Amino acid sequence: MSEHQSRDDWARLATTLFERPGGVQTQALIDGQFVEAASGETFETVNPATGEVLANVVACDAPEAEKAVAAARTAFDSGRWSRMAPAQRKQSLLRLAQAMEDNRDELALLDTLDMGKPVGSALSDLSGAINCIRYNAELIDKSYGEVAPTDDGSLGLILREPLGVVASIVPWNFPMMMAAWKIGPALAAGNSVVLKPSEKSPLSALRLAQLALEVGIPDGVFQVLPGFGHTVGKALALSMDVDCLAFTGSTGVGKQLMQYAGQSNLKRVYLECGGKSPNIVFGDCDDLDGVARHAAEAIFYNQGEVCIAGSRLLVENTIRDAFVERVLVHARAMQPGDPLDPASFMGAIVDRTQFQRVLDYIRQGQEEGAVLRGGGSAVEINNEGLFIEPTVFDGVTASMRIAREEIFGPVLSVIGFDNESEAMAIANDSAYGLAAGLWSRDVNRIMRVSRRLHSGQVFVNNWAGGDMTVPFGGVKQSGNGRDKSHHSLDEYCDIKTVWMSLDPTLR
């Protein structure tokens, strides 16, 4: 429960953060020190709800990537974290999680100011991020290697070892949570981690860097390099001394990272990329109004800037008209509001480029012949900011661009279908395969459809359900990685075989 209850409380906290001595952290953390870039370059981070420049942040580039990777390698080779007893690493990570908890409001507020999400959503992201660090801390001293089934004269050990240096490149839509999903398992496994936050939302990661120093994470083990993708991000991806790239972001950049890995040292590349998720509503589901509310939340939460947004709503034609009416009622109740107001459901779009891109898709949908049933326009809150109404298109066909491309904004495409096999064909007709939802009372259908959906995760009679115990990730061009659960820890470990001959006559 936050002690900040009203918009004014949050606005006061923002003033306190930016006006305290030193303001917010804007420098890169390299080898235990907060530093400027060698070039002296900085970039502005802007509040999309007001247009106000929040801070000038250090713009790291190749020299900083090189220094951070070298420090990460030195730390790794020293064993001060990588060979620390897992139970001790666990204690350090639990201290980090507690520090995040103690600074939860501040971290959430930094994300809200940086990228425009409502503060209520940012707080819930923080809970997810803290939970992820704790989960991985608790996992690491309960994870065993294996003994192979051998004959009497041999002993086969299968050891789990950290990979070495992990570079994590993350997006702006859930800044703290996406960072935690990488940092949690990678640090727990004993790796050194270099985090590159998005240039659109660097502030919470830099605050996290301060907290990591305060709780005693050793120098070089966790470093944060703010800056652009094509500069410092690319340098990390091309580094010959990074062992693993853990990426969340767009499919286009994911493809580039695989090329960089091929051009450099064949580092492992784990990708969590884009989506165009189908949410399938069959005519037999209970409580149409409740399902309609979930369908609206599935696309409008976080202004539609969600990788798993339920952006394609597939509705059985027998109920389509009535169902769309209900979706429209719920959509109208989800208008954007001031992100500092805890009652707001939708906030501002992250920046002008993304804002314009979403509006272009809305125009394109109309040009393609889809029927605009609700929203479709930009709005201002307090006479400023980059806000877009929850927008619903009906009569969308599977070939339209608004049904095929990831818009990453509050735009829902409703597509009708007549039967299960048609629904399956439309749902799977996508380059993406991140998430899918289905709503039905028929358990046989639920099992049939769940198995046939080409998707990393299927939500049955819910949207976006799940906790730390289950993996999160996609298939096809949505990526190849898995965040959360013990499966994500596996990604940050190597498997080493040690085969021992016990029979002295064999030596």
Residues making contact with ligand NAD (CB under 6 A): 169-173, 178, 196, 198-199, 228-230, 233-234, 237, 248-250, 253, 256, 272-275, 307, 406, 408, 434, 474, 478-479
Contact indicator for 453, 425 with CB cutoff of 8 Å: no
The one catalytic residue among 64, 106, 199, 272: 272
Residue 73 vs 234, nearer CB to ligand NAD: 234
- Give me the phi and psi of 260, to 5 degrees please: -60, -40
Picking from 287, 305, 290, 211, the residue whose alpha carbon sits closest to that of residue 249 is 305
Structure tokens that stand for 430 in this block: 């996508």
Picking from 178, 27, 55, the residue whose alpha carbon sits closest to that of residue 113 is 55
Q: What Å distances lie between residue 231 and 62, 300, 436, 453, CA to CA?
A: 7, 33, 35, 38
Q: How far is it, in rounded angstroms, from Cα 121 to Cα 344?
A: 9
Residue 116 vs 190, nearer CB to ligand NAD: 116
From the CB of 463, what's the least distance to ligand NAD, in Å? 15
Q: Going along 154-293, which residue ranges are E strands? A: 154-162, 165-169, 192-196, 222-224, 244-248, 268-272, 278-281
Name the residue whose CB lies closest to ligand NAD.
Answer: 229
Picking from 2, 299, 296, 353, the residue whose alpha carbon sits closest to that of residue 172 is 353
Compute CA 479 distance to the chain's CA centroid, rounded to the nearest angstrom.
13
Q: How far is it, in rounded angstroms, from Cα 229 to Cα 43?
A: 13
420 is a catalytic site residue: no
From the CB of 239, what's the least distance to ligand NAD, in Å? 11
Contact indicator for 343, 337 with CB cutoff of 8 Å: yes
- Give me the phi and psi of 252, to 5 degrees please: -60, -45
* 3-state SS string for 84-149: CCHHHHHHHHHHHHHHHHHCHHHHHHHHHHHHCCCHHHHHHHHHHHHHHHHHHHHHHCCCCCEECC
Residue 14 vs 195, nearer CB to ligand NAD: 195
Residue 426 vs 464, nearer CB to ligand NAD: 464
Residue 81 vs 408, nearer CB to ligand NAD: 408
Q: How far is it, in rounded angstroms, from Cα 201 to Cα 408?
A: 16
From the CB of 247, what's the least distance to ligand NAD, in Å? 7
- Give me the phi and psi of 391, to 5 degrees please: -120, 130
CB-side neighbour CA atoms (13 Å) of 8: 0
Structure tokens that stand for 35 in this block: 């530093």
Q: How far is it, in rounded angstroms, from Cα 413 to Cα 404?
A: 10
- Give the position of tokens 């169902």: 323
Residue 261 vs 314, nearer CB to ligand NAD: 261
From the CB of 144, what's the least distance to ligand NAD, in Å? 29
From the CB of 431, what's the least distance to ligand NAD, in Å? 12
Q: How far is it, in rounded angstroms, from Cα 188 to Cα 357?
A: 39
Q: Rounded to the nearest 5 degrees, what angle is found at the Cα of 444, between the Cα atoms of 443 and 449?
A: 100
Structure tokens that stand for 366 in this block: 């109309």
From the CB of 377, what's the least distance to ligand NAD, in Å? 23
From the CB of 471, what's the least distance to ligand NAD, in Å? 11
Residue 199 vs 316, nearer CB to ligand NAD: 199
Q: Rounded to the nearest 5 degrees, what angle is found at the Cα of 264, between the Cα atoms of 262 and 269?
A: 55
Residue 197 vs 390, nearer CB to ligand NAD: 197
Residue 408 vs 439, nearer CB to ligand NAD: 408
From the CB of 283, what's the least distance to ligand NAD, in Å? 30
Residue 67 vs 234, nearer CB to ligand NAD: 234
From the CB of 312, what's the least distance to ligand NAD, in Å? 14
Instruction: Give the SS3 label for residue 410.
Output: coil
From the CB of 310, what's the least distance to ligand NAD, in Å? 13
What residues act catalytically? Answer: 272
